[in-house]
Amino acid sequence: DHPHLHLVNGYGPAESMGFTTTHTLTGPAPAIPIGRPIAGKHAYVLDENLRMLPPGVPGELYVAGHGLAHGYIGQPALSAERFVADPHGAPGSRMYRTGDLARWSQDGALEYFGRADQQIKLRGFRIEPGEIESALLRHPTLAQVAVLIREDRPGDKRLVAYVVPTEGSRPDLPELRRHAVAALPEYMVPATIVPLDALPLTVNGKLDRRALPEPPQADTAGGREPRTPAEEVLCGLFAEVLGLTSVTIDDHFFQLGGHSLLATRLIGRIRSIWDTRVTIRDLFQYPTPVLLAEHIATNTGGDPMETLLPIRAATATDTEAPLFCVHAISGMSWSYAGLLRHIGGRRPLIGLQAKELTSPSDRPAGIEEMAAGYVAEIRSVQPHGPYHLLGWSFGGLVAHAIAARLEEQGEQVALLALLDSYPLPDGFRPPAITGREVLTALLGGRGAGIDVRCADTAPDAEELAAVLRAEDAILGALEPAQAAAVVAATAGNLEMRYRYVPRRRFGGDAVFFDAARTPAATGAEAWAPHVTGRIEEHEIDCEHWDMTTAEPLREIGKVLAEELRGVRH
């Protein structure tokens, strides 16, 4: 309406004297950048170790260059805290720590996210409201968003998003929830989305948080009610298995807290009602009542033992590279399903399972050969890096070997996550592989007390399969032949594991998760000879065998979500 006006958005703390960055406005936008540094000024987006962050990754904003103050008069301690040595400038130069959060856009402009000290904490997670607001604002129907934690009832803390639609738009709350789930990790998805005509402001033009209305007790961002008998039954089964009062047809089983054990219970309940071949693989692919009802109507079932198991399959709209999860000693990758709710809805999650589960003749001669086969499988899905790899126990050894091979092929491995996985110590003497060894490998301590004829002899696949199907709920979901294949794969993997010494070094960094209740002689340092980069260690309060159960995966998922997004605090 005013073409003669030339509008510029400027940013600059008083400590840097005037504007440090500017952005010329060319039209309406949901979020206006603060722009690029002007001549003689510098701006850095850095992590906690003062390393520069790539575009798209939020961090703390530092400024330097002409006009920077030398400090605060009479406040040496505060000066030392805020004016720090500039590792990216000339020797002896300093930069100012603004305390603001920002990130570089792909076209080189700075996007402002608010103050670092406005971080909020919910259920042990540090959350940046500005990052959630920015993610929601990418939806074309939203003009403004404000996110905060509310505790309207004692002990009931909820993450609430207040949204203002663009002119002519009406908020579609289920669609906005799907958008949030796809864009954010589980712990950053608002529990409630509240539409407003406008955000309340103070007389100074700032958000008046105290004037934001209390959200309704019911979650107004819920999905649709059942429309058919099949959808009604599935909603009831979802709620029963998950321990919830109600579920809508659009609710995602794994986003609501489902994991592999609960998934097998749900599949069992479904099979008791319908004559269907539905498997856990189908639940991965059709995780809501509406999608699963449509799939059951076709009376088809996917093979849950296939080598590439799409726990969350890639879609045409995905913008993030997959996380590949390598099976443990059993050869199965179902247990990684609990990560889905923590790593964000746009991140495909693909399990790698032992090839001999479906093709016994494909058993590899050793871990190096196994890793080479999995590299080919991985590259059939994602031809080039950066790659993200994770492995628990035996799977960590394989994931390390895969990472080293990909690196040798000139590819980048951005994440290597090792879940309580150790190379064998020097002087290790392998035990005989007996029925007892296989039971212990699959059932942990429970396997030691089970009486089987082959306890001290070579494993009997049929005998052990029958025991395992009776003792373990997940293995109990398998057909007898499938359980026998798991026994055979476990015995073969034990034999490979007991003679494996990593031959290749991985040149990048690794993240190591230690099961604190199952102490080992060495921790992450066991990987030092085999990993050139830094090894970041995290203690998880669990035993080795519980590493992929719900609560440990919650803590692991929190770290992985930050690693995958490039944000570490």
Instruction: Report yes or no: 15 and 82 within 8 Å, Cβ to Cβ.
Output: yes
Per-residue tokens: 477: 């979901």
Alpha-carbon separation of residue 73 from 66, 127, 566 (angstroms): 19, 34, 37
Query: What is the per-residue DSSP string for 105-173?
Result: -TTS-EEEEEEGGG-EEETTEEE-HHHHHHHHHTSTTEEEEEEEEEEEETTEEEEEEEEEEPTT----H
What's CA 304's distance to the chain center, in Å? 22
Residue 20: burial class (beta carbons within 10 Å; 0-12, 13-18, 19+): buried
**The two three-digit tokens of residue 255, written as one number:** 């986003």
Cβ proximity of 323 and 387 under 8 Å: no
- How distant, in Å, are the alpha carbons of 60, 76, 487 from that of 83? 14, 10, 62
What is the rounded distance in angstroms from the CA atom of residue 310 to the CA atom of residue 313?
Answer: 5
> Do the beta carbons of residue 526 and residue 511 sit within 8 Å?
no
Inter-residue contact 309 to 353 (CB < 8 Å): yes
Do the Cβ atoms of 386 and 410 come closer than 8 Å?
no
Question: What residue type is assigned to position 212 of the chain?
Answer: L
* Pairing mode, strands 535-540 and 83-85: unpaired
| List of residues 6+ apart from 164 with CB closer than 8 A | 142, 143, 144, 145, 195, 196, 197, 198, 199
- The alpha-helical segments, DSSP class H, found in 303-434 are 367-381, 394-408
Alpha carbons 132 and 189: distance in angstroms, whole number: 8
Do the beta carbons of residue 160 and residue 189 sit within 8 Å?
Answer: no
What 3-state DSSP class applies to 83? strand
Identify the active-site residue in 139, 179, 388, 544: 544
Name which of 141, 192, 143 is nearest 170 in CA terms: 141
**What is the rounded CA–CA span in Å between residue 540 and residue 557?**
11
10 Å CB burial of residue 160 (0-12, 13-18, 19+) is buried
483: part of which helix (H) or strand (E)? helix 480-498
**Type of residue numbered 553:** L
Question: Is 70 annotated in the active site?
Answer: no
Tell me which residues are annotated as active site. Answer: 544
